[in-house]
Amino acid sequence: MKRFTFLFVFMMAWVLEVNGQTATTVKLQETLEDLVSLDRLVRQVHWNARGTAAYSLHELTGEFHAELDSQQDIFAEQLSILGVDPVVSFEKLTQNVHAVPNANQKHMRKAGIDLLIKHYQQMINQVKERMKGIDDLVVEDHFIGLRAMLELQQWKLKLEQEI
């Protein structure tokens, strides 16, 4: 049984190598797509902020967008450095478009913050998982920086929840 597992892992590694991808570039690619998707969601909340302290949420998500944008740049350029073209699928770009609560909803602010906190947690979990087993220190550093940024932004959202 162990021999089959070894063979399967070897074959997968070979298939990835043939396509110019490695386990590390796949992780970078998936993270880039998740970053684009999360950024779209943050943008939706930014544009649709309504209700109590809407301006505060608008400003905060504007700040998040700028930081998420520079993280996308870091992950995309790292893929290029490793010889893989950074591509984001159309499905990923549109994934979170309909996830934002109706702008006319009375409690849009709370709903928007709750939604973002949930999505940030999902991404933090994925980043933690992808960081495992990375043997390239530069790539590991990118993941550490991203995780720190995501956790900081999520913490700020939790503070906003209390306003």
Q: Which residues bind Fe ion (CB under 5 A)?
A: 62
The tally of CA atoms less than 13 A away on the side-chain side of residue 153 is: 30
Q: Taking the complex as a whole, how short is the minimal distance between the CB of residue 59 and Fe ion, in angstroms?
A: 9
Which CB atom, from 62 or from 86, has the smaller least distance to Fe ion?
62
d(CA 50, CA 40): 18
Which CB atom, from 21 or from 48, has the smaller least distance to Fe ion?
48
Q: Taking the complex as a whole, how short is the minimal distance between the CB of residue 47 and Fe ion, in angstroms?
A: 7
CB nearest Fe ion: which residue? Answer: 62
Which CB atom, from 35 or from 42, has the smaller least distance to Fe ion?
42
Q: Taking the complex as a whole, how short is the minimal distance between the CB of residue 62 and Fe ion, in angstroms?
A: 5
Q: Taking the complex as a whole, how short is the minimal distance between the CB of residue 103 and Fe ion, in angstroms?
A: 15
CA distances from 117 to 48, 121, 153 (A): 16, 6, 9
Which CB atom, from 51 or from 62, has the smaller least distance to Fe ion?
62
CA distances from 42 to 5, 25, 67, 137 (A): 41, 25, 11, 29
Nearest C-alpha neighbor of 160 from the set 113, 115, 120, 116: 113
State the distance between the two ends of the chain, measured CA to CA, in whole angstroms: 56
